[in-house]
């Protein structure tokens, strides 16, 4: 199979316009050249990509499949251009950072904002991951720096304290649990929960701990932020588990401590031991260490 980007752009243009002539004009080809390219591509693939009819061309199932892949290629190319563009404008370095949900939602926005204002020539690639995945990625050298909730060994990585927080339950003020000051996670597994979306680090954490207890969470609704969890809980949709630092001042909301040993969330910065960081990554690590003095309100 021999085809190139102009072939893929022609396929996309035909699908978008439904017309070979309009597609040819869009990709700056003569109609005869566009027709020849399409015929060659279909011959190379051994399949028809478009159905021809009096009103124009429509993609076949095979054409739709090729089109999906072509659009992914175009999106990746655009992302590549976006990643490279800052280097042409004097970018000094890029730092890759993985962090868990707690850090990304509660602490990193302000800290990274301050850092980038002081270091305008640095770019940060930030991705949310569960702590075990972050530890593996840092150990494998896939990312420069991680922020994890340490529950034990960090796989031989070098670590430094970042922030302290604590997971708590939030319930409506008229809920049966609202009168409690503390409760074990095992005691609430039968409750309906408001959770962050599947795939978020804290969703994975909650599901895994429920499974370890031999239970399964009843997730009534999933949302995209801790603020939305708080509002849903206040509205009586269910109960939630969030970091204390994320609890908003929403009316009709009560906080209940979780007695499990994993409730304190001691966030740690982690890097590969014995592998020097780039100057930009070193600067970010030092900055987060300085900004991340433990807050007394969240002491475990």
Whether the Cβ atoms of residue 239 and residue 168 lie closer than 8 Å to each other: no
pTM: 0.67
Q: What is the dihedral of CA 45, 51, 53, 55, to 10 degrees?
A: -110
* All domains of the chain in start order, with CATH: 5-88 (1.10.10.10), 100-300 (3.40.190.290)
- pLDDT of residue 120 exceeding 90: no
Q: What is the dihedral of CA 71, 77, 83, 85, to 10 degrees?
A: -120
> From the CA atom positions of the chain, what is the Rg in Å?
26
The whole-angstrom separation of Cα 248 and Cα 295 is 17
- pLDDT of residue 299 exceeding 80: no
Q: Which helix H or strand E contains 254, and what residues bound it? A: strand 253-258
Could you tell me which residue, 79 or 261, shows the higher pLDDT? 261
The whole-angstrom separation of Cα 182 and Cα 86 is 50
Q: What is the average pLDDT value for the chain, to the nearest integer?
A: 90
Q: For residue range 15-63, list pLDDT tens digits in order.
A: 999 999 999 999 999 999 999 999 999 998 999 999 999 889 999 999 9
Q: How many residues does the chain have?
A: 300
- pLDDT of residue 85 exceeding 90: no
The pLDDT confidence band at residue 208, using thresholds 50, 70 and 90, is: very high
The whole-angstrom separation of Cα 143 and Cα 148 is 13
Q: How many CB atoms lie within 10 A of CB 133?
A: 17
Q: For residue range 236-250, list pLDDT tens digits in order.
A: 999 999 999 999 777
Q: Which whole-number Å values give the CA distances from 203 to 92, 146, 193, 241, in the listed order?
A: 36, 19, 11, 10
Average pLDDT over residues 284-299: 71
The pLDDT confidence band at residue 296, using thresholds 50, 70 and 90, is: very low
Whether the Cβ atoms of residue 264 and residue 151 lie closer than 8 Å to each other: no
Q: For residue range 136-182, list pLDDT tens digits in order.
A: 999 999 999 999 997 666 877 999 999 999 999 999 999 999 999 99
Average pLDDT over residues 117-141: 92
Q: Which helix H or strand E contains 176, and what residues bound it? A: none
Tell me the H-state helices in the chain. Answer: 5-17, 20-26, 31-45, 61-88, 101-106, 108-118, 131-139, 201-212, 226-234, 279-291
């Amino acid at each position: 199979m021999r085809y190139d980007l102009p072939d893929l752009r022609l396929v996309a243009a035909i699908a978008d316009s439904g017309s070979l002539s309009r597609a040819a004009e869009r990709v700056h080809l003569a109609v005869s050249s566009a027709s020849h390219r399409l015929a060659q591509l279909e011959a190379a693939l051994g399949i028809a990509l478009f159905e021809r009819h009096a009103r124009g061309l429509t993609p076949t199932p095979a054409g739709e499949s090729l089109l999906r892949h072509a659009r992914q290629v175009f999106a990746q190319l655009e992302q590549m251009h976006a990643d490279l563009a800052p280097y042409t404008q004097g970018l000094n370095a890029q730092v890759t950072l993985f962090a868990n949900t707690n850090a990304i939602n509660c602490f990193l926005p302000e800290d990274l904002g301050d850092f980038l204002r002081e270091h305008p020539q640095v770019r940060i690639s930030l991705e949310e991951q569960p702590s075990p995945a972050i530890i593996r990625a840092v150990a494998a050298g896939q990312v420069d720096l991680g922020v994890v909730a340490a529950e034990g060994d960090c796989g031989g990585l070098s670590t430094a304290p970042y922030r302290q927080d604590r997971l708590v339950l939030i319930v409506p003020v008229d809920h049966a649990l609202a009168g409690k000051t503390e409760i074990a996670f095992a005691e609430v597994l039968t409750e309906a929960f408001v959770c962050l979306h599947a795939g978020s680090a804290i969703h994975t954490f909650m599901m895994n701990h429920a499974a370890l207890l031999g239970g399964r969470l009843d997730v009534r609704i999933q949302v995209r932020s801790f603020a939305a969890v708080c509002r849903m809980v206040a509205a009586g949709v269910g109960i939630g588990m969030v970091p204390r630092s994320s609890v908003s001042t929403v009316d009709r909301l009560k906080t209940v401590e979780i007695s499990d040993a994993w409730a304190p969330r001691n966030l740690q910065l982690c890097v590969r031991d014995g592998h020097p960081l780039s100057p930009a990554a070193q600067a970010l690590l030092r900055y987060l260490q300085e900004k991340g003095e433990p807050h007394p309100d969240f002491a475990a």
